[in-house]
Amino acid sequence: MRDSLAPRTLHAWGSVAPEGLDLGLVRAAIRAEEKLSLDYRDEQGRATQRIIQPIALIYYSETATIVGWCELRHALRNFRADRVAECQPTGTYFQGEGDRLRSLWMEGWSRAASP
């Protein structure tokens, strides 16, 4: 059992891998603090291209969500993996910023929970 719970092991039951997106590439970009270029479609199907600084990958039962700093919107945003048409590493990095952005993201949780 210890091996199955090793820190580098991830189990996500029920989550469906999105078509056309390699979540391993996203996880590698998070670890390396490498920016990603996304061809993304919003809820209405409108296409945009985004450069993001990915900081987290959240698995839900229906889809995975990439959390990242969006350079277009200058804010933290959530990107549903099933709406990503294409994802490529940019070769540019935001090294040393990942922890700060994750802290900013988590601060938003407490603000959202406050009355």
- Taking only the tens place, the pLDDT of each residue in 42-96 is 999 999 999 999 999 998 888 899 999 999 999 999 999 999 999 999 999 999 9
Does 9 score more than 80 pLDDT?
no
Q: What angle do CA 80, 81, 86 make, to 5 degrees?
A: 120
Q: Taking the domain 15-93, which CATH number applies?
A: 2.30.30
Among the residue ranges 23-32, 51-60, 102-111, the one predicted with the least confidence is 102-111
Rounded distance between C-alpha atoms, residue 32 and residue 13, angstroms: 26
What is this structure's pTM? 0.81
Mean pLDDT of 22-41: 96
